[in-house]
Amino acid sequence: MATGVRNADRPVSKDAAIGFIDVAECSIMRIVKVNSLHKWDVSVAQAKEIQLSLADRVVTGCGAIDPLLVAGVDISSPRLRGSARAAVVVLSYPELETVEVRTVEGETPFPYVPGLLSFRESPLILAAFERVRNAPDLVLVDGQGIAHPRRLGLASHLGLFLDRPTIGCAKSILCGRHEALGDERGSHAELFDRGECIGAALRTRSGVRPIYVSVGHRIDLASSLQWVLKCCCGYRLPEPTRLAHLAASGRVSPNRAAK
């Protein structure tokens, strides 16, 4: 028998079979790559400088997006000891059915400073993304995108680390003003700060308070508004961030930790 040719009748060992399965699984998995942009152990002044530098790298336009998977991101409020739980929930689109839930708990050493929450929350959120095995094509973040004094809120910061289209879906305004909007679902009014359009107030449900949508990264505002509405299922919050909020609160069980 020629060397290097396996006998078809010879049984495959257990270790070889497991190795084959692991290779097959890796070829199917869509792992999320997290870029390395800067260190997290920085001062408040350094954090502000980083925001100003990274804001220039945010892309506020992109081609058409046709997502198969959409993720929602949220993080629980830090507890008394400074720990929090970050959650990433991946849904199929257009079904909006849950595909994967990942959570990470840990400390949040960076101090609470308005406008710098991404330095407090991003490390845990990115750690949760590193566990995701179904990489999303679009990410909705419970937080601001460029609707931020230095144009780099949590959604934009995460978008640069993930290099994926991201949208900020905040429940309140951090900066800027807007005109009145209609009461019907889909009504919106652009949000302006210092003469610049930084987002929009969007009514996702008739007669309910609007949410504040802004570009995170690699998407424009019109598309952001469109996709937020497409991801709404009768609640004020879009389904991805609504479920991420529940997961961060411990009310949605995470998937079994990946090996």
Task: Tell me the three state secondary structure of residue 122.
Answer: helix
Question: Percent of the chain scored above 90 by pLDDT?
Answer: 79
Per DSSP, 136 falls in state -
pLDDT at position 215 over 50: yes
pLDDT, position 30: 83
- What pLDDT is recorded for position 197? 98
Tens digit of each residue's pLDDT (9 = 90 or more) over 52-62: 999 999 999 88
- β 83-92/98-107 pair status: antiparallel
* Predicted local confidence at residue 78, as pLDDT: 64
Rounded to the nearest integer, the mean pLDDT of the chain is 88
Q: Is the pLDDT of residue 201 over 80?
A: yes
pLDDT in tens, 54-101: 999 999 988 789 999 999 999 997 654 578 999 999 999 999 999 999
Q: Residues 141, 241: contact at Cβ < 8 Å?
A: yes
CATH number of 34-248: 3.30.2170.10
Give dist(CA 117, CA 110) in Å, integer: 9
Q: What is the pTM of this model?
A: 0.86
